[in-house]
Amino acid sequence: TVNIDDIEDIRHGHESEGLKKYANSVPAGHCFSIIFKDPKKRNLDLIASSEVEAQHWVTGLNKVIKNSDSMNKLQKLEHWISICFRKTDKNRDNKMDFEELKKFLKNMNIEVDDTYAKELFKECDRSKSDFLESEEVEEFYKRLTKREEIDTIFNTYAKQNGNMSRDNLLNFIKNEQKEVVGREYVESLIEKYELNETAKNQNLMTQDGFLMYLLSSEGNIFNPAWAKVCQDMSQPLSHYYISSSHNTYLLEDQLKGPSSTEAYIKALSKGCRCVELDCWDGPDGEPVIYHGYTFTSKILFKDVIQTVKANAFKASPYPVILSLENHCSLEQQTVMAQHMKNILGDMLLTEPIDGITAEFPSPEELKGKILIKGKKLKSLDDNNLMEQDEVSDEDEAAEVEDEAVEEEKKNKKESSKLKLSKELSDLVVYVKSVHFYGFEHAKEEQAFFEMSSFGESKAFKLAKESGSDFVIYNTRQLSRIYPAGRRTDSSNYNPVEMWNIGSQIVALNFQTYGKEMDLYQGKFQQNGYSGYILKPSFLQDSQSTFDPNLQKEGEWLKPKTLHVMVISAQQLPKRNQNKTSSIADPLVTVEIHGLECDSTQKQTQYIKNNGFNPSWNERFQFNIDVPELALIRFAVEDYDSHSRNDLIGQYTLPFASLQLGYRHIHLLSKKGDQYPSATLFVHIMIMNQ
């Protein structure tokens, strides 16, 4: 059995590693693959008896997925409840007795005492048959899903015979949601979300329509205007944060996890614009990619380049950077260059844009282009030798494979010079890897296109000791930050501090879930998931005096007071879906991530045995000095008095993209996927200090 919500994609043909490897002799038209969202779950590769049959499956599955995705929130709620009902109704008689009712409630993550459950059962059992059926189940459903907080808000503004008129709704949106809109906008909401045709024709909104509006993108806490590309994309590349992945080829840990082209597809589909390729000599003259000197599996370099070509610009049209970790021989470096030129063709940037070499081009000018980040020959001799001090920091003893490389060099007493293929060197245009000798040296001696990479320990140390210098450096040159080699489990560091000093390429392990990736996904959802976010102006200005370690006056200081009221949650998923008795005890943590002076968190009380419709009504206040750098994370956890709380769901967004008033937060799973119907209901207010 496959859950439609778990499917990420359906691919027709030899479009998975399994089919490419084992079904090459089968006609591509007979093959298709079901790709799952969870990278640890094996893709389902299938072969049909004919091309027509395969096409039927692909078309049919895509239609089912599209229908599921296009359901409104009310339909998703009804669908979820019907699934819980089917789990409970073991004998398939479409009826519920009292014992089945109690199991039904537990399946929906709510535990009520027998007295209340019995009372509810009797009230709905109008036929006195000791079963709930048809209309009685519907009555029970209405009682169950009634939301008193929505009743109160709606009744405050519904002045038209228990409905909201166009003007009532306009007053609500202006007074509570703090939006400056006109009657036309309000009419469009009624047209879009009102379910009752009679009310719609009279320009009225019923309570069901009002709830639909609050659950929609317009009622979301994340401003929908930020869900499309809305920033200036014509500035130099160094003025943007760039979504970047570390060890992109890995699906799991970096000691023994599998390498896969699928990992590149997943990263690129999330808007990642800088992917890493660790390149080593492979058999038959073909370079391979894997985590050197470990037990990770190997994939062909040319297969990765083909995958990049097919997927680079599906999620975003803006440039992709291939960050090469080059450990190959001269011969196989040349093969790498040939593969990139032959496969990528016109996508590959091989010359400066319009011949301009004085400053970075913009993401707009580089649309549809793939850039190579790597080493470049300063001067060429007959042996293609490059001075060792020209290598990037990634090739120093900072990561696991590089420590092994250094050890092997000592043992072999190798030359202090590294061979570099001219063909590969020529493909590096705007992102040349160089060693970092200090901020003053970079300012005086390095060109804008010469960039350095920093292991997290060195980067955090420099950020603490020379924050202002690091900020200035990042206004002109690119910097890349990567996780420490000791993170053999592919865990991540907190990226926020690196964004605070303006670093553009803050690389994380996309395959590892956790708070760090929550922050990453939350930040990069703005600007249409394009993978490029314009840095605040004080992180673009080469004369900036901003230092993230010092609280001093400047354009960045725009103190705000954020008021958050955590009201309620709806349909929280169970921690253990297979265990009826595992009912959540939910609590909510509101976290601020930004400058150290702004970073804090506050937590509600926990609600015992209710993951279906818990209610808190707790208020919090946060003072934020530099809101342009702040992210807000809402985390719903299952309280546990004996061990660490389990995450139920979370949602992270930039402070600047918050919508005010009564807002729903559509919760994401640990893996970053949206739950069909789990929401948090809050009220947001922001005041100038």
Q: Which segments are annotated as binding site for substrate?
A: 373, 375, 453, 480
Cα(194)–Cα(212) distance, rounded to whole angstroms?
7
Catalytic entry in 14, 30, 246, 683 = 246
Give the 3-state secondary structure of residue 281: coil
Q: Where are the alpha helices (DSSP H) in 312-453?
A: 330-344, 400-412, 422-425, 439-445
Q: 3-class DSSP state for residue 323?
A: strand
197 phi and psi, to 5 degrees? -65, -40
**How do beta strands 615-624 and 560-570 pair?**
antiparallel
Rounded Cα distance, 303 and 264, in Å: 11
> Given the DSSP bridges, would you call strands 505-508 and 479-482 parallel, antiparallel or unpaired?
parallel
* Rounded CA separation 391/433 (Å): 7
The SS3 call for residue 330 is helix
Instruction: Transcribe 78-131 into DSSP letters.
Output: HHHHHHHHHHH-TT--SEE-HHHHHHHHHHTTB---HHHHHHHHHHH-TT-SSS
> Would you give the distance in Å from CA 50 to the centre of its chain?
38
Using only C-alpha atoms, the chain has a radius of gyration, in whole angstroms, of 28
DSSP 178-226: -----HHHHHHHHHHH---HHHHHTTEE-HHHHHHHHTSSTTBSB-GGG
Token pair for residue 6? 């778990």
Amino acid at 575: R
> Strand 44-47 and strand 31-36: pairing?
antiparallel
Q: Pick the closest to residue 221 from 637, 670, 631, 497 (CA basis).
A: 631
Active-site choice (291, 339, 593, 683): 291
Residues 6+ apart with CB under 8 A from 590: 564, 566, 601, 602, 603, 620, 622, 632, 633, 634
Distances (CA, A) of 679 to 8, 220, 272, 296, 588: 22, 10, 27, 39, 12
**Could you tell me if residue 247 is left (phi over 0), alpha (psi between -120 and 50 degrees) or otherwise beta?**
left
DSSP letter for 4, please: G
Using DSSP's 3-state secondary structure scheme, residue 331 falls into helix
Residue list for the binding site: 247, 276, 278, 325, 373, 375, 453, 480, 583, 585, 609, 638-640
Is 664 assigned a catalytic role?
no
Q: Is 441 a catalytic residue?
A: no
Q: How far from each other are the two terminal CA atoms of the chain, in whole angstroms?
A: 55
Burial 346-357 (b: 16+ CB within 10 A, else e): ebbbeeeeeeee
Q: In 353-453, where does DSSP find H-type helix? A: 400-412, 422-425, 439-445
- Write the CA distances from 623 to 543, 558, 632, 686, integer angstroms: 28, 11, 12, 10
Tokens 């260059």 belong to residue: 337
Nearest to 567 by CA among 665, 660, 681, 686: 681
Backbone angles phi, psi at 186, to 5 degrees: -65, -40
Binding residues for Ca(2+): 247, 276, 278, 325, 583, 585, 609, 638-640
The three-state secondary structure class of 489 is: coil
d(CA 254, CA 492): 12
Counting Cα atoms < 13 Å in the Cβ hemisphere of 268 gives 25
Cβ-defined contacts of 97-104 (< 8 Å, 24+): 97/130, 97/131, 98/130, 101/132, 101/140, 103/580
The set of residues, in sequence order, having a beta carbon less than 8 Å from that of 311 and lying 6+ positions away, is: 264, 265, 268, 269
- Residues recognised as catalytic: 246, 291
